[in-house]
Amino acid sequence: MPLPPAPTKRAALLSPDALDAPARSSHRGSRRSGDSRADEAVARSPQPLELFDSLGAEGAGGGEAVRPARRAKSSKSTPAPVSAPQPQALVQVETKVPAAEPVSAPAAAPLPPARAKRSKSTGPAKLFVLDTNVLLHDPMCLFRFEEHDIFLPMIVLEELDGHKKGTTEVARNGRQTSRTLDALAAAQDADIDKGLKLDTTGHREAGGRLFFQTAPLDYSLPISLPQGKADNQILGVVHALRDEYAKDRPGRPKQEVVLVSKDINMRVKARALGLAADDYQNDKTLEDGDLLYAGSLALPADFWTRQSKTIESWQSGSNTFYRITGPLVPNLFINQFVYFEAPGEPSMYARVTEIRDKTAVLKTLKDYSSGKNAVWGVNTRNREQNFAMNLLMDPEIDFVTLTGTAGTGKTLMALASGLTQVLDDRRYTEIIMTRATVSVGEDIGFLPGTEEEKMGPWMGALDDNLEFLAKGDGGGAGEWGRAATNELIRSRIKVKSMNFMRGRTFLNKYVIIDEAQNLTPKQMKTLITRAGPGTKIICMGNLAQIDTPYLTEGSSGLTFAVDKFKGWPHGGHITLARGERSRLADFASDVL
């Protein structure tokens, strides 16, 4: 059936009370309209039909990281308050549903089931033996194991001492870990023999104790394992502890001993020896990359017919707004895109602009696939690209994340929208572009020149896209016109290295962070917090092309940013689905 039409004449305006209602913190209570006649009409009408039988968890995207310890309680982000758009007219759209039609949940496009919360462990506390790489990876890992105990072999302390020199992130983590251990040992009433209480430094979530190896342990490993290697000594300690803690002793129950290491080969050797081993997974934002928030949601095929009694629409400028209710609303986030596509019916593409109580307001999008809405000569070619361009061109959106495979147009759209807003709209003063300098293959050595010249070889994607944009914008100006356009473009684009970002503040800048999947969460935080007033940051990357060692899809800084910023009123995310570079690149992304 066709979409509800926009009103043709003025109707009752929303009351100021409705506009000033506080943003919801939970889904209790119901929203009251300022129009008493509308309330009476709703009261007399049948109750709105349920869209689904059970609530799904689409968009929760999150998934709490699996920890070696029991687990941490899952947290749920609450959308921040958003002011409602001032409507010009409001109309209640009512469509009668035949009484004979049975009420049943639709079979098409169901939301995925909600993830059940895991119950707390009721068994005895475990003893986790930490490898050195865990301490160097996350210096706060000592406080991530909740009620479980931690054991550090002496060889781990020796290796930690060997990694503390230098200015690298590993060296900084090593020094921070050493300071943490010193603070725990220097706490009041600390007794190393009985174990150091992990909550003495203010980390109340850590209820276990920290044990050091204070005496030699008796163990025997296969003669095929070199005895002098540090990894094998740690395996020997785990072997001895397993035999010691496997039996009850006075005042100390038996405990399961588990080795925690980021080294895959270390875990394989431990399991080959019959020892329990696990990866340190507290740094992972998601358990599975498929759970990442996509930024868009398909409305079911019978959305309008089953929800038509509770839909209100009004026109404001060139946009149409829809206010919807129902079980779909709790699964929506601010700035999430929704779309309706069904054979024989008009399509609808909108963005969630407001969530209050059990209602959500959808705002239709600007169509950038049309020639009249071209951005620096660039038109979008698919649905997701149009979603992304709406985020990039919206001055109210300060932070945008774009993910997608090679050739989906991330860099081209970011540059085109940046040039339009810098040179045409004068919204920003210049474009700053940076990226993680992680090579795909072997490093070619030091690069000569200034900071911008050193970053030149890493910015091949910038040069390729600028060449396309300059050629498309030059029109029939000839060679001189294209040269002048290219010179003007490059005068407003600055290429910066991430190594010198500490302490900087960007004012009214358009910042593009390319290849953001190779950043750690700490590096991502460092870059995003450089933003000053009037600055917009664009983070782009392909989570399938992570080149940084020890980073995965779940622990990447880009995944971290997408998950933490979902639902923020001034941030948006979209996952680009289809490559538009060429048919060759599109096919290669699927089959190779």
CATH number (domain holding residue 356): 2.40.240
Q: How far is CA 429 from the centre of its chain?
A: 28
Is 358 domain-assigned?
yes
Residues 265, 207 share a domain: yes
Burial class of residue 417 (count of CB atoms within 10 Å of its CB; 0-12, 13-18, 19+): buried
Nearest to 384 by CA among 364, 404, 361, 362: 404
Residues 430, 321 share a domain: no
Is 143 domain-assigned?
yes
DSSP state, residue 45: S
Residues 305, 274 share a domain: no
Is 84 domain-assigned?
no
pLDDT of residue 438: 57
> In this structure, what CATH number is given to the domain that contains residue 504?
3.40.50.300
Provide the token pair at 326.
């129902």
DSSP letters, 334-399, are TT-EEEEEETTEEEEEEEEEEEETTEEEEEEPP-TTSGGG-BTTB---SHHHHHHHHHHT-TT--E
pLDDT per residue as tens, the chain (592 positions): 456 555 444 444 444 444 444 444 444 343 333 444 444 444 444 444 343 433 333 444 333 333 444 443 434 444 444 444 444 444 444 443 344 444 343 444 444 444 433 334 555 788 999 999 999 988 889 998 888 999 999 999 999 999 888 878 888 889 999 999 999 998 888 888 888 999 888 888 888 899 998 888 888 888 888 888 889 999 999 999 998 888 776 667 788 999 999 888 999 999 999 999 998 888 776 766 567 899 999 988 878 877 666 788 999 888 899 998 888 888 899 999 999 988 888 889 999 999 988 899 999 999 999 888 989 888 999 999 999 999 999 999 999 999 998 888 898 999 999 999 999 999 999 999 888 765 544 555 566 666 566 666 656 667 777 777 776 554 555 566 667 667 777 778 888 777 677 778 899 999 999 888 988 888 889 889 989 999 999 999 998 888 877 788 888 899 999 999 999 999 999 999 887 777 887 788 778 7
Backbone angles phi, psi at 319, to 5 degrees: -110, 150
**Taking a C-beta distance cutoff of 8 angstroms, is the pair 6, 314 a contact?**
yes
Last residue within a domain, chosen from 279, 304, 326? 279
Is 234 domain-assigned?
yes
Residues 314, 269 share a domain: no
Average pLDDT in the chain: 76
Backbone angles phi, psi at 164, to 5 degrees: -85, -10
**Taking a C-beta distance cutoff of 8 angstroms, is the pair 254, 248 a contact?**
yes
Residues 434, 539 share a domain: yes
pLDDT of residue 368: 93
Spatial separation of the C-alpha atoms in residues 244 and 298, rounded to whole Å: 56
> In this structure, what CATH number is given to the domain that contains residue 196?
3.40.50.1010
Spatial separation of the C-alpha atoms in residues 7 and 9, rounded to whole Å: 6
Residues 261, 395 share a domain: no
Residues 356, 229 share a domain: no
Q: How far is CA 328 from the centre of its chain?
A: 22
**Taking a C-beta distance cutoff of 8 angstroms, is the pair 292, 562 a contact?**
yes
Last residue within a domain, chosen from 309, 332, 364? 364
Spatial separation of the C-alpha atoms in residues 6 and 318, rounded to whole Å: 11
Is 231 domain-assigned?
yes
Beta strands in 199-310 (DSSP E): 209-212, 257-260, 276-278, 296-298
**Taking a C-beta distance cutoff of 8 angstroms, is the pair 493, 521 a contact?**
no
Residues 406, 318 share a domain: no
Instruction: Give the dihedral sign, CA 397/403/408/410.
Output: positive
Is 460 domain-assigned?
yes
Residues 407, 556 share a domain: yes
Range of the domain at 462: 381-438+451-590
Last residue within a domain, chosen from 364, 392, 419? 364
**Taking a C-beta distance cutoff of 8 angstroms, is the pair 303, 346 a contact?**
no
459-470 pLDDT, tens digit each: 666 777 777 777
Number of compact structural domains in the chain: 3
Residues 559, 429 share a domain: yes
Residues 326, 206 share a domain: no
361-414 pLDDT, tens digit each: 999 999 999 888 989 888 999 999 999 999 999 999 999 999 998 888 898 999
Residues 342, 231 share a domain: no
Is 238 domain-assigned?
yes
Is 149 domain-assigned?
yes
